[in-house]
Amino acid sequence: MPDELLQRLKRFREDAFPRYRVQFQTLVDEGQHPTTLFIGCSDSRLVPYLLTGTGPGELFMVRNVGALVPPCCGTSDGGHHGTAAAIEFAVLQLKVKRIIVCGHSHCGAIRALYEDVSPEAVNLEAWLDLARDAVLPVCPSPEALRRTEQRTIALQLERLMDYAMVRQRVDAGELTLHGWHYQIEDGEVNVFDFQTGAFVPASLLASL
Ligand SMILES: [Zn+2]
Protein backbone atom coordinates (compact mmCIF):
# COMPACT_ATOMS: atom_id res chain seq x y z
CA MET A 1 0.00 0.00 0.00
CA PRO A 2 1.46 3.38 -0.95
CA ASP A 3 2.43 5.69 1.89
CA GLU A 4 -0.21 8.41 1.97
CA LEU A 5 2.20 11.07 3.18
CA LEU A 6 4.70 10.24 0.45
CA GLN A 7 1.87 10.66 -2.05
CA ARG A 8 1.15 14.06 -0.57
CA LEU A 9 4.80 15.05 -0.76
CA LYS A 10 4.80 14.20 -4.45
CA ARG A 11 1.62 16.21 -4.95
CA PHE A 12 3.16 19.18 -3.14
CA ARG A 13 6.26 19.12 -5.30
CA GLU A 14 4.28 18.84 -8.53
CA ASP A 15 1.18 20.92 -7.86
CA ALA A 16 1.79 23.42 -5.04
CA PHE A 17 5.51 24.14 -5.10
CA PRO A 18 5.59 25.75 -8.55
CA ARG A 19 3.29 28.49 -7.26
CA TYR A 20 5.76 29.26 -4.45
CA ARG A 21 9.02 28.67 -6.29
CA VAL A 22 9.94 32.33 -6.68
CA GLN A 23 8.95 33.16 -3.11
CA PHE A 24 11.04 30.33 -1.68
CA GLN A 25 14.00 31.26 -3.87
CA THR A 26 13.83 34.82 -2.55
CA LEU A 27 13.69 33.51 1.02
CA VAL A 28 16.76 31.40 0.29
CA ASP A 29 18.66 34.23 -1.38
CA GLU A 30 17.77 36.91 1.15
CA GLY A 31 17.33 34.71 4.22
CA GLN A 32 14.33 34.63 6.49
CA HIS A 33 13.12 37.75 8.25
CA PRO A 34 10.03 36.70 10.18
CA THR A 35 8.77 39.34 12.59
CA THR A 36 6.78 36.98 14.79
CA LEU A 37 7.78 34.15 17.09
CA PHE A 38 4.79 31.85 17.45
CA ILE A 39 4.87 29.54 20.48
CA GLY A 40 1.96 27.17 20.00
CA CYS A 41 0.59 23.95 21.41
CA SER A 42 1.47 20.84 19.41
CA ASP A 43 -2.21 19.96 19.08
CA SER A 44 -2.98 18.94 15.49
CA ARG A 45 -6.16 21.03 15.49
CA LEU A 46 -4.22 24.25 15.93
CA VAL A 47 -3.11 25.29 12.44
CA PRO A 48 -1.28 28.62 12.79
CA TYR A 49 -0.89 29.33 9.06
CA LEU A 50 -4.60 28.78 8.53
CA LEU A 51 -5.58 31.00 11.47
CA THR A 52 -3.33 33.88 10.60
CA GLY A 53 -3.33 33.63 6.83
CA THR A 54 0.45 33.60 6.85
CA GLY A 55 2.79 31.80 4.49
CA PRO A 56 6.45 31.01 3.96
CA GLY A 57 8.87 33.22 5.85
CA GLU A 58 6.33 34.90 8.10
CA LEU A 59 6.22 32.90 11.33
CA PHE A 60 9.17 31.59 13.29
CA MET A 61 7.48 28.77 15.10
CA VAL A 62 8.09 26.52 18.05
CA ARG A 63 5.47 24.13 19.28
CA ASN A 64 5.29 21.93 22.31
CA VAL A 65 2.77 20.23 24.58
CA GLY A 66 0.61 23.01 26.02
CA ALA A 67 2.45 25.97 24.42
CA LEU A 68 4.57 26.25 27.55
CA VAL A 69 7.63 28.42 28.17
CA PRO A 70 10.43 26.78 30.15
CA PRO A 71 12.51 28.79 32.61
CA CYS A 72 15.18 30.87 30.92
CA CYS A 73 17.99 29.29 32.92
CA GLY A 74 18.77 26.83 35.64
CA THR A 75 16.93 23.92 34.09
CA SER A 76 17.88 20.49 35.35
CA ASP A 77 18.25 19.05 31.85
CA GLY A 78 21.57 20.75 31.18
CA GLY A 79 19.99 23.51 29.13
CA HIS A 80 18.93 21.23 26.29
CA HIS A 81 15.66 22.93 25.77
CA GLY A 82 14.41 23.60 22.27
CA THR A 83 11.79 26.15 23.24
CA ALA A 84 14.26 28.24 25.26
CA ALA A 85 16.73 28.05 22.37
CA ALA A 86 14.04 29.14 19.92
CA ILE A 87 13.15 32.15 22.07
CA GLU A 88 16.79 33.20 22.27
CA PHE A 89 17.34 32.72 18.54
CA ALA A 90 14.15 34.56 17.59
CA VAL A 91 14.86 37.54 19.83
CA LEU A 92 18.63 37.86 19.48
CA GLN A 93 19.20 36.70 15.91
CA LEU A 94 15.97 37.33 14.06
CA LYS A 95 15.02 40.33 16.18
CA VAL A 96 11.32 39.48 16.04
CA LYS A 97 8.91 42.26 16.89
CA ARG A 98 6.36 40.11 18.67
CA ILE A 99 5.98 36.84 20.47
CA ILE A 100 2.64 35.04 20.50
CA VAL A 101 1.86 32.30 23.01
CA CYS A 102 -1.08 30.38 21.59
CA GLY A 103 -3.04 27.85 23.58
CA HIS A 104 -6.46 26.53 22.69
CA SER A 105 -9.73 24.99 23.81
CA HIS A 106 -9.92 21.25 24.60
CA CYS A 107 -6.18 21.17 25.26
CA GLY A 108 -5.05 17.71 26.32
CA ALA A 109 -2.08 19.16 28.21
CA ILE A 110 -4.35 21.30 30.36
CA ARG A 111 -6.75 18.43 30.97
CA ALA A 112 -3.79 16.28 32.00
CA LEU A 113 -3.11 18.72 34.83
CA TYR A 114 -6.28 17.42 36.46
CA GLU A 115 -5.63 13.75 35.77
CA ASP A 116 -3.01 11.15 36.56
CA VAL A 117 -0.37 11.02 33.86
CA SER A 118 0.98 7.61 32.86
CA PRO A 119 3.91 6.72 35.14
CA GLU A 120 5.95 6.05 32.00
CA ALA A 121 5.52 9.67 30.90
CA VAL A 122 8.16 11.11 33.19
CA ASN A 123 9.05 13.92 30.82
CA LEU A 124 5.42 14.89 30.31
CA GLU A 125 4.78 14.93 34.05
CA ALA A 126 7.74 17.23 34.63
CA TRP A 127 6.89 19.40 31.65
CA LEU A 128 3.37 20.04 32.92
CA ASP A 129 4.86 21.60 36.05
CA LEU A 130 5.25 24.69 33.88
CA ALA A 131 1.48 25.11 33.93
CA ARG A 132 0.62 23.84 37.39
CA ASP A 133 0.25 27.28 38.93
CA ALA A 134 -2.72 27.81 36.62
CA VAL A 135 -4.67 24.87 38.03
CA LEU A 136 -7.87 25.77 39.88
CA PRO A 137 -8.96 23.98 43.05
CA VAL A 138 -12.18 22.79 41.42
CA CYS A 139 -13.45 19.88 39.35
CA PRO A 140 -12.32 20.16 35.73
CA SER A 141 -15.61 21.35 34.24
CA PRO A 142 -15.49 22.75 30.69
CA GLU A 143 -15.49 26.26 32.16
CA ALA A 144 -12.69 25.43 34.63
CA LEU A 145 -10.63 23.91 31.83
CA ARG A 146 -11.11 26.98 29.65
CA ARG A 147 -10.07 29.24 32.49
CA THR A 148 -7.05 27.04 33.20
CA GLU A 149 -6.06 27.16 29.53
CA GLN A 150 -6.22 30.95 29.62
CA ARG A 151 -4.46 31.26 32.99
CA THR A 152 -1.71 29.03 31.60
CA ILE A 153 -1.18 31.39 28.67
CA ALA A 154 -0.86 34.37 31.03
CA LEU A 155 1.62 32.40 33.13
CA GLN A 156 3.82 31.69 30.11
CA LEU A 157 3.83 35.38 29.17
CA GLU A 158 5.07 36.16 32.67
CA ARG A 159 7.80 33.56 32.35
CA LEU A 160 8.86 35.01 29.00
CA MET A 161 9.61 38.23 30.82
CA ASP A 162 12.20 36.33 32.90
CA TYR A 163 14.32 36.08 29.77
CA ALA A 164 16.65 39.08 30.02
CA MET A 165 16.69 39.69 26.26
CA VAL A 166 12.89 39.62 26.17
CA ARG A 167 12.48 41.98 29.11
CA GLN A 168 15.03 44.44 27.72
CA ARG A 169 13.35 44.65 24.33
CA VAL A 170 9.84 44.85 25.76
CA ASP A 171 10.97 47.68 28.05
CA ALA A 172 12.58 49.41 25.07
CA GLY A 173 9.37 49.15 23.05
CA GLU A 174 11.02 46.91 20.44
CA LEU A 175 9.07 43.77 21.25
CA THR A 176 5.49 43.02 22.25
CA LEU A 177 4.07 39.89 23.87
CA HIS A 178 0.68 38.44 23.01
CA GLY A 179 -1.43 35.68 24.53
CA TRP A 180 -3.93 33.94 22.28
CA HIS A 181 -6.54 31.34 23.17
CA TYR A 182 -7.94 29.65 20.08
CA GLN A 183 -11.42 28.16 20.32
CA ILE A 184 -11.35 25.23 17.95
CA GLU A 185 -15.12 24.87 17.77
CA ASP A 186 -15.93 28.37 16.56
CA GLY A 187 -12.73 29.64 15.00
CA GLU A 188 -12.43 32.55 17.42
CA VAL A 189 -9.12 33.61 18.91
CA ASN A 190 -9.41 35.33 22.27
CA VAL A 191 -6.60 37.75 22.93
CA PHE A 192 -5.14 38.43 26.36
CA ASP A 193 -5.65 42.01 27.54
CA PHE A 194 -2.72 42.97 29.75
CA GLN A 195 -4.68 45.85 31.30
CA THR A 196 -7.67 43.85 32.51
CA GLY A 197 -6.31 40.29 32.56
CA ALA A 198 -9.30 39.23 30.45
CA PHE A 199 -9.38 37.50 27.07
CA VAL A 200 -11.11 39.51 24.35
CA PRO A 201 -12.36 38.07 21.02
CA ALA A 202 -10.01 39.06 18.21
CA SER A 203 -13.01 39.63 15.97
CA LEU A 204 -14.10 42.46 18.29
CA LEU A 205 -10.62 43.98 18.48
CA ALA A 206 -10.17 43.82 14.71
CA SER A 207 -13.37 45.78 14.09
CA LEU A 208 -12.65 48.52 16.64
ZN1 LIG B 1 -3.00 21.77 23.52
pLDDT of residue 178: 98
Please check whether residue 148 is in contact with residue 62, taking contact to mean a CB–CB distance below 8 angstroms. Answer: no
Is the confidence at residue 22, as pLDDT, over 70? yes
Is the pLDDT at 76 greater than 90? The verdict is no
Cα 80 from Cα 69, distance rounded (Å): 14
Confidence of residue 75 (pLDDT cuts 50, 70, 90): low
The answer to whether residues 20 and 45 touch, using CB atoms and an 8 Å cutoff, is no
Q: What is the pLDDT of residue 206?
A: 83
- The rounded distance, in Å, linking the Cα atoms of 33 and 46 is 23
* Distance from the alpha carbon of residue 135 to the mean position of ligand 1, in angstroms: 15
Distance between CA atoms of residues 41 and 75, nearest Å:
21
Q: Which residues surround ligand 1, an ion (CB under 5 A)?
A: 41, 43, 107, 109
What was the pLDDT predicted at 15? Answer: 97
**76: CA distance to ligand 1 center in Å?**
24
pLDDT tens column, 135-164:
999 999 999 999 999 999 999 999 999 999
What is the reported pLDDT for 118? 94
pLDDT of the residue at 80 = 79
On the question of pLDDT at 78 being above 70, the answer is no
Average pLDDT over the chain, rounded to an integer: 95
Tell me the CA–centroid distance for residue 171 and ligand 1, in Å.
30
Q: What is the pTM of this model?
A: 0.95
Q: How far apart are CA 202 and CA 181, in angstroms?
A: 10
Note the CATH number of domain 22-29+36-206: 3.40.1050.10
Q: Using an 8 Å Cβ cutoff, are 189 and 202 in contact?
A: yes
CA of 45 relative to ligand 1 center, distance in Å: 9
